[in-house]
Structure 1
């Protein structure tokens, strides 16, 4: 029997909710210090969520992903904002009343200013936050994301030589050595695994049927390269080994910098790909394949589904396009290589790695045009891959398109090259923030309606059954 797939859309708190000076998060401070584009009003989802929920329902969606602003919910250590929790309960119930399953993310790239991800107390702090959320929302939410794209958070502590600054907060001091950067990454990875474990435990305590996971961002690189990187990651045996590995990469940096002007992107590709951070380390850890100093034994298998984000990829023998994958990580989405075949490979990979768990494509989508491919065509190609995989017996529980509307793309200027929205919003010039359908919205509606695998809407505002 084929699994039933929830087709959905998504938002995120920092990218869609208007800035409130009472509750700044780490990214608000980062954007200000780095001179990046602030979120401002964003799409004002805080006040206009009902409109966006209606738009999603009109597309035929049966899932709507949101994230919670931890900074709003816990503005001071141990002090919880009931008004914010009540608001998010209203959002969740609006989603359910519209016939969709809410998927709720606890931490989507941002956290309160009083939180330190490297602090050994971070997992306990995350536990307390998750426990409060579970008490308030647990009865209405089944699908949870603990930490959005944990694999990307390392770039707040690691600065490759070709970048002039850290890609995201919090950043280390300007004179941090490669050894210190790798050591910080190891501490972060361990803390993220522990925080995921703590959040899952408390969510399952409140609802044993809760489906809890995370969504690492996966690059579509050739299988042989992925296998090589994963093999190297699995071979890391100690913190000293990891740090010395980072140091050996750094020793080669000077030569590669000198060659950069002659060989273009090749030196930075050779600098990044050999590192453990280029591996699929989150899922390798949860599968029990990493050393326990990175993923402790009691953190293994702490998941109810295999979630991942996929946007861009290259064909097996088009290695010259790898540099465009790295550029996409820096916000050059319009040139990012589009290849749906990598999504097919990932679905097969995770079915083999976690044979008893459903798969969830937590994020997939495109800017207006990437690699010469329109967003509408992008969706057609990738959803066809999902349909074919399900027909072959792959248990895909959900496909969530990023995103329902234009949003603030992490400090980047608004424009076609940073706009992932099915509904366009002119963030800078339209004071009414009108939602205007793009051609891709109609394409997505048509694809959902025609899908032989789509999940049925819940028959009541209550919880829907597990698809399949």
Structure 2
């Protein structure tokens, strides 16, 4: 476990933290494969669906998790963040699959055997199919159901994991609803949920990452209530285990007074509602991928000549530190970078991004900023939700087309390894 307590009035000398976590992140549905009992796998197979293709075998990490841990160790990293999938553990309501809990038990031991600190995410968007059929996070019973799942997991893993993240990016639907989705995309999501409800034979089939705008506020309320219940449950089982949640954080910038007002309005909508929800938590996770620069009419296109991601966003190294500092100022909590990366098929872009993004973060930590660690997204090229396999975030490629699912570290993995090794402790 990680002790996050600091003596009041203690002055931190310049120097890199002794227990800084250098890691990589993954999520179960995106890498495991063979997921047949979750809400997202159900949505992937309705027609019409918003998902370009089903996750299918993904990266076969359910079978090849030891290979994944060897990759983490081989990069000289000391931590790994992965999700514990509720749909695997409770595939039917009140029916617990002990073999799934045993699987995660082995994964945690596998981390420790390699000198890797394990961190778990308890809800990385995906939930059981039966939970979605009960309206998901809109169900008044959802907080207690999730708290039961957290207790179930922590009774098995809580003595060995270092930190627990309750929710992954529960503010993402709000970010997407503030202009990131086209009218056509919103309508496609609406149709997908309507078809899913009919197919499941329920009035309201709902999930955490396919959301229609008019339901965002109610969804966030469900997330916040469930987070509070989860924190209480986790602390009752593991009182010394650090717990928090992670937020998606765009580095909002601007070039005019109107742009400044737009950027501030976006911040007020996407982040401020979470200030009260995380008070008393042990840390706040930050997941940053991009900067968005506002002009008078809204977000500006990427300038000519700069690297861009597969989504068309400019690749901005400075966005990470700006996002970290902003969330620290907003919440007052120690910060853990739970995700940071770039979707690109050009690995040289990723290498340049790592080389330019991380040194300022290291300087921040050396200067006494309460930064707990950095986790790159992702360890593998994996399933990226509605985009299927068209977006490439991985430090390692996966041979899906050849059917071997062999992992191959890219040059960016070596770039990351070198930077970690050269960081003076």
Give the counterpart of 1:72 among 63, 84, 88. Answer: 88
Runs of 4+ in 1 over 6 A off after TM superposition: 155-159, 167-170, 223-227, 316-320
Contact 1:26–1:170, Cα closer than 8 Å, also in 2: no
Give the counterpart of 2:238 among 192, 204, 207. Answer: 207
Shift of 1:347: 2.3
For 2:287, the equivalent position in structure 1 comes to: 309
Contact 2:396–2:413, Cα closer than 8 Å, also in 1: yes
Shift of 1:15: 0.6
For 2:421, the equivalent position in structure 1 comes to: 449
Answering whether residue 318 of structure 2 is matched by residue 341 of structure 1, we say: yes
Secondary structure at 1:309 match in 2: strand
CA gap 1:188/1:140 in 2 versus in 1, 3 angstroms: same
For 1:363, the equivalent position in structure 2 comes to: 339
Which structure 2 residues correspond to residues 317-356 of structure 1 after superposition, within 5 A? 322=300, 333-355=310-332
Q: Provide the C-alpha distance between the structure 2 equivalents of 1:446 and 1:143, rounded to a whole number of angstroms.
A: 26
Secondary structure at 1:150 match in 2: coil
TM-score, normalised via structure 2 length: 0.81
For 1:425, the equivalent position in structure 2 comes to: 398
Secondary structure at 2:56 match in 1: coil
Secondary structure at 1:353 match in 2: helix
Answering whether residue 273 of structure 2 is matched by residue 285 of structure 1, we say: yes
For 1:9, the equivalent position in structure 2 comes to: 24
Secondary structure at 1:110 match in 2: coil
Describe the superposition over 1:386-409 as per-residue Cα deviations: whole angstroms up to 9, x where unpaired. 112113321110100011111111
Describe the superposition over 1:114-148 as per-residue Cα deviations: whole angstroms up to 9, x where unpaired. 11111111111111111111111111112111111
Shift of 1:36: 2.2
Shift of 1:348: 2.1
Name the count of aligned residue pairs. Answer: 382
Q: Provide the C-alpha distance between the structure 1 equivalents of 2:270 and 2:238, rounded to a whole number of angstroms.
A: 25
For 2:61, the equivalent position in structure 1 comes to: 45
Which structure 2 residues correspond to residues 144-159 of structure 1 after superposition, within 5 A? 144-154=164-174
CA gap 1:361/1:300 in 2 versus in 1, 3 angstroms: closer
Q: Provide the C-alpha distance between the structure 1 equivalents of 2:262 and 2:232, rounded to a whole number of angstroms.
A: 31
For 2:148, the equivalent position in structure 1 comes to: 128
Q: Give the unaligned 5+ runs of structure 2.
A: 1-12, 196-203, 205-210
CA gap 1:169/1:40 in 2 versus in 1, 3 angstroms: farther
Give the counterpart of 1:61 among 59, 67, 77. Answer: 77
Q: Provide the C-alpha distance between the structure 1 equivalents of 2:349 and 2:362, rounded to a whole number of angstroms.
A: 20
TM-score, normalised via structure 1 length: 0.74
